[in-house]
Structure 1
Amino acid sequence: MTDGEHLTVFADLPVADFGPGTLADDLPDAAEVAWRIRTELGGPGWAEVFERFLERVDTARVSALVLGYWACPIDGSHPVDLLLQARERFPSLRALFIGDVSYEEDTISWIEHTDLTLLLQELSQLETLEIRGTRGLWFEPLASGLLRRLRIESSGLPGELVDVVAASDLPNLEHLDLWLGAAFSGGDATVSDLAPILSGERFPALRHLGLENSEFQDEIAAAVANAPVVARLESLSLAMGVLTDTGAEALLSGQPPAHLRRLDLHHHFLTDAMVERLRTALPGVETDVDDGRLVMVSPADEWQDNLGAYVMVPE
């Protein structure tokens, strides 16, 4: 899944589109899909589409909701505010995705968010929370015994938001993904911001950790190599960033990640020799080392040293 695509499946349910042209007589069962509510440029406002959704769908049976493209609300109402006002209409809601906006609709760095604190406090029954984009995004540290999956996709994740995640009380969180992004897109998080997560003390149930799309992927790999949290993980992703042989060497020299079921390193800057070393050293691990981005610059097999290296989703 990248920022250039719309969701087709969310919370293990197929995504059903509810947009400006959706007809009332052609709707699936309310409980059998994840509903994406969206508008389009030049179409009715998101608020109007949402009102139609409330009228035509049995929202009491909706378990998964996707907030799609909302353009620029003319009345100033953000979809988050509108959902907060209608929260009592969604007693079965367990999964929420905010910002299912494709690259053609808006770049990830320009998706306008707001303060989610009140909404997340009211929707305390959520088990899955996923967010695309971080422009204007804020929420206070979370406290939930139900949340199991948290994912933030960003071209530039502010360090203060990493601190908020790290300060959250989520004893049953099993899956955490953070796209750290590029400095020119606002990504100013550091390895030290990740320390509470890597220590293993914050999220005792964590089984998957993704620290991805980072310009300092080598530093992250070095920190992860001896991080206590890794021992309990089943899968680890350091994908989409500027991972070079230096970071891969750190991984192989630290605590052996051979217990993992899956290691995702796609979109990397590794040499062919290092890719082969990883595969040889981790024969029982499903290791994704596809989409190598390193370019040979001389017949002597000399490789560029991060020249022009870039994260997969930079803006």
Structure 2
Amino acid sequence: MTISDHLQEWYGLPAFDFPDTEAEAASGTTLPAPEGVAWRISVDSYDSEEEWEEAFARFVATVDTTRVRALIVGSWSEAYESGPGEVISALLGAKEKLPRLRGLFVGDITFEQCEISWINQGEVTRLLDGFPELEHFGVRGGQDLVFPAVKHERLETLVVESGGLDVAVVRGIAASDLPALENLDLWLGTSWYGANADVSDLEPFLSGTRLPRLRYLALRNSEIQDEIAVALAGAPVVARLETLDLSMGTLGDDGAEALLNGQPLTHLKKLDLHHHFMSEAMVQRLSDALVPAGVELDVSESEGNGSGDREDRYTAVAE
């Protein structure tokens, strides 16, 4: 599977594409209220008529940005060759004009623009440092992604989507001081595209000693999904979660067995295991154990029967 659709919403607001050329902007398109949408600003990945920073400058000149609550950074020109350094600088340069910005996503790029594992990124934590009032922050693409440990008092949601996440990024997030974080969503990916973290690198998330407000934990799209499930079977953090998401990866019967034999999961509101390699019998056992307790169980998109060579398994999103 690839990323074929743009975000439909961000920060609880519907996404709206800011017109991408001056001619289109002058065509009479009615713009929504600045605070009512998540504004997506994007340019062509190939042979763009303007740079992203130019499109953003038009946005700032056109929209009352003092009322804007959410921004989505779409493709910048030649995202497969260059990172968003100038994009980040443009956003930071306009921070005084964005006093109400609370949701920011960098890299809402589909496979037709640039495959996820070819999206160049950079030191995105500059944005967290520059916007201390952010509540939702997301980034797509792991190539050259830099995420040193950061302190942020207000961040509630952190999403990092990748086909292969470098261990330095995982460790940087794990070492960050994020006391308000409630939702953590990491796409760990596959070693073919740079994933090199192991379960020990996830220990700060699993121990329950950090992220005191965490309620939604997604460690997904991983080629070590069984190992993660085994670790979570006894992880202290699980007891205070509402949603546990191990979807999009290579989860098979071994990992599911560990979940069933581990600590109780009946307190969860949702257990998301979609895109899996479990057998029908194991799926039924999970359903029998959890659904009567009121847990929403997603075991859709079965990709195997629980047996066979694990090397034949694949993550939902890779290249």
Q: Which TM-score band applies after superposition, normalised by the shorter structure? A: over 0.9
Work out which of the residue numbers 155, 161, 165 in structure 2 matches 1:147: 155
Find the counterpart in structure 2 of residue 93 from structure 1.
101
Find the counterpart in structure 2 of residue 203 from structure 1.
211
Give 3-state SS (helix, strand or coil) of 2:310's partner. coil
Give 3-state SS (helix, strand or coil) of 1:252's partner. helix
Residue 305 of structure 1, CA deviation:
3.2
- 1:29–1:131 CA distance, 2 compared to 1 (3 A): same
- Cα deviation digits, residues 129-150 of structure 1 (max 9, x gap): 1111121211321212211101
2:47 pairs with 1:42: yes
> CA contact under 8 A between 1:4 and 1:104: conserved in structure 2?
yes
Find the counterpart in structure 2 of residue 298 from structure 1.
none
Q: Distance in 2 between matches of 1:252 and 1:92?
A: 44
Q: Single out whichever of 68-77 and 244-253 deviates more from structure 2.
A: 68-77
Give 3-state SS (helix, strand or coil) of 1:172's partner. coil
Paired amino acid for 1:4:
S
2:273 pairs with 1:265: yes
Find the counterpart in structure 2 of residue 156 from structure 1.
164
> CA contact under 8 A between 1:237 and 1:265: conserved in structure 2?
yes
Q: Distance in 2 between matches of 1:137 and 1:33?
A: 27
- 1:76–1:128 CA distance, 2 compared to 1 (3 A): closer
- 1:158–1:23 CA distance, 2 compared to 1 (3 A): same
Paired amino acid for 1:262:
K
Work out which of the residue numbers 304, 308, 312 in structure 1 matches 2:312: 308
Q: Single out whichever of 217-226 and 25-34 deviates more from structure 2.
A: 25-34
Would you identify which runs of 4 or more consecutive aligned residues in structure 1 move more than 3 Å?
73-77
Give 3-state SS (helix, strand or coil) of 1:312's partner. coil
What TM-score, normalized to structure 1?
Answer: 0.94
Q: Distance in 2 between matches of 1:194 and 1:212?
A: 12
- 1:232–1:249 CA distance, 2 compared to 1 (3 A): same
Residue 273 of structure 1, CA deviation:
0.3
2:74 pairs with 1:64: no
Q: Single out whichever of 48-57 and 112-121 deviates more from structure 2.
A: 112-121
Give 3-state SS (helix, strand or coil) of 1:6's partner. coil
Find the counterpart in structure 2 of residue 299 from structure 1.
none
Find the counterpart in structure 1 of residue 12 from structure 2.
12
Give 3-state SS (helix, strand or coil) of 2:17's partner. strand
> CA contact under 8 A between 2:20 and 2:41: conserved in structure 1?
no
Give 3-state SS (helix, strand or coil) of 2:200's partner. helix
2:18 pairs with 1:32: no
Q: Distance in 2 between matches of 1:76 and 1:234?
A: 34
Q: Single out whichever of 36-45 and 173-182 deviates more from structure 2.
A: 36-45
Q: Distance in 2 between matches of 1:115 and 1:175?
A: 21
The CA RMSD measured in Å over matched residues stands at 1.9
Superposition pairs of residues 159-170 of structure 1, within 5 angstroms = 159-170=167-178
Give 3-state SS (helix, strand or coil) of 2:266's partner. helix
Find the counterpart in structure 1 of residue 144 from structure 2.
136
Q: Single out whichever of 213-222 and 129-138 deviates more from structure 2.
A: 129-138
2:129 pairs with 1:125: no
- Cα deviation digits, residues 160-188 of structure 1 (max 9, x gap): 11111111111111000100000010000
> CA contact under 8 A between 2:226 and 2:256: conserved in structure 1?
yes
Residue 80 of structure 1, CA deviation:
1.2
Residue 75 of structure 1, CA deviation:
12
Residue 115 of structure 1, CA deviation:
1.4
Q: Distance in 1 between matches of 2:84 and 2:230?
A: 45
Find the counterpart in structure 1 of residue 264 from structure 2.
256
Find the counterpart in structure 2 of residue 23 from structure 1.
25
> CA contact under 8 A between 2:69 and 2:103: conserved in structure 1?
yes
Q: Single out whichever of 181-190 and 74-83 deviates more from structure 2.
A: 74-83
Work out which of the residue numbers 279, 292, 299 in structure 1 matches 2:302: 292
Q: Distance in 1 between matches of 2:255 and 2:7?
A: 31
Paired amino acid for 1:212:
R
Paired amino acid for 2:182:
E
Paired amino acid for 1:23:
A
What TM-score, normalized to structure 2?
Answer: 0.93
What fraction of aligned residue pairs are identical, expressed as a percent?
49
